[in-house]
Structure 1
Amino acid sequence: MGNDFCLGGSLYFCMMEHLHDTFAVEIAEYQDWSDRNRKNNFFELVYVLRGTGLQSVNYVKRKYAKNGIFLLPAAKCHAYIIEEPTRFLFIRFTGSYFASRGKDQIDYSSWFSHLNFILGNHDRFPGEIISDPVEKSRVKRLLDVVLSEYQRKDACSAFVIQNTLVSVLGILAHNIQKKVLQGRTFKDSRFTELINFISFNILDPEKISPAYLSDKFNIAESYFSEYFQRNAAERFQDFVLKTRLQIAESRAIYTSTPITEIAWELGFTDSSHLNRMMKKHFGRGMRELRKGVV
């Protein structure tokens, strides 16, 4: 482990360790905020161990306190306004998360699905990511495990943290899905389950095919398209395309993954196909999004 003395502000200490090539864990304590080195980071989970203040993302501010759990994509403008000395646990997910995991024994498919969903659907504003106290308590217990293993640093700690984060990402993704669907009601209770399943398997062509979904949710395949449009008020193909484009937009902004690779992973013919669809639906192409062109 390396101890990094972070300059600027009144900072007690800053310890960061790359426990795995897909994530790093950092504990930092501040009296006054100073910018941190977050290179190659596109997604960060923040757990407040103690202290109070304000979290500011893109000039929007929200209060934070002990046990607060926040999601911080690689926003161009973010900071913490410290009121009481604050100790943070930062869990940083890096761009290498999306690299091939051919030699790993861990199945990263659930990480990949949940992280893509979170990245594509988080509102990118400050404030706690989980409002439900029961769900927040579950994530807190898991993050306490991460903290304990990080401090223990024995031979199995990285493996334990790695597997604990699988559960954390799952809970976060489902809580964001609740917010996405908030205010929407469906006549058929199955439809919420169907939407959830599609959202979390959006990159698996087989699992989101009408044939597979019809069989899984006991819907006649010949009736599936009509059933989906009647409940969602949009065509199935349009919902799938829109969901994939939301992920592509976030990955253009928050990762350095080549656009050709993003296109391939999201099921587009090539980068030109993805670019055309992005311009049609969002008004900007992938390179414009990556450069921050308005």
Structure 2
Amino acid sequence: MMSISELVVNGMLEYYEDGVRVFHSRLEMKKNIPFKLYKVTQKYPSPGDHKHDYVQIWYVKKGVLIHTIHQKKYKMIAGNLYVIPPFVVHRVNMKPDHETEIIGCEFLPHFINGQFNESFEYLFLDEDRLHSKVAFSGEADLQVQQLLEGMLLEYNTQGPNFELMIKGSLLMLIGLTLREWQRAPLAQLDGKMRRHKEIMEGVIKYIHDHYKEDIKLENIYRHAFMSRTYFCDLFKQYTGKSFQEYLIDLRLRKSMEMLLSSDMSITDVCFHVGFNHLTHFSRMFKKHTGVTPLYYKKHAKCQLGKGE
């Protein structure tokens, strides 16, 4: 059972849940403004393990800090940024022997309501898929720093439409962070790609040689001596598509060739390229090409004015 307590420290009310300090937006953010921006130095008094009901982004402009989450420590240096979703316990410790400067940005998710996509929720709101460090460099780092400095200025001066200006910059910041985060796994997989290059080339050749048959994913990854998850991730990085997407695309391309170059019926083509149901084949073909197999067969090679 969760224990909740309140303490008054230096005249300020603090909330705790099971000994972990909780920061609430209603106390931390200005009234009717669902975001907050600030600068932090190495004089920042660490609250120890804590959590908050809002998204927190910290960007290291200068110096070093240690960010601890799920018992793992991450050294954050200039150009590094971390994102903490709501209600995730973490702690930050400054290195006293370094001159440190942090730009902090905190916001409630509804501030950018309607702008969410799967990637945003994956990185910013999902504790189970938490990524605790994003490293910027070069032009991207300069963009991030300029965005945060501009947001901080808008927040402090609160000129006309400052909320809209901050929201626009925040969306840009999120986009840059997602782009960098999505690029990082590719670099991490380079070693895997090199190690498994021959295996993946063999898998691709097997698919092209046997696409007409009933190819089972389970048989493929077991033959490659990999787990399903490892194989699927590697295949997606190698081809840009999932195993099933790649197989269906190949079968559809082959069906298009056959519809143009043979007198086979739509049904015969369907089964010849490995589809088991004509309805499924027709639906996937139209999704892929925008037209039905019959329309494609009749009109793909027709000259304008003669095919209608």
Relative to the length of structure 2, the TM-score reads: 0.46
Q: State which structure, 1 or 2, has the greater radius of gyration over its C-alpha atoms.
A: 2
With CA pairs under 8 Å and 6+ residues apart, which has the higher RCO, 1 or 2? 1
Relative to the length of structure 1, the TM-score reads: 0.48
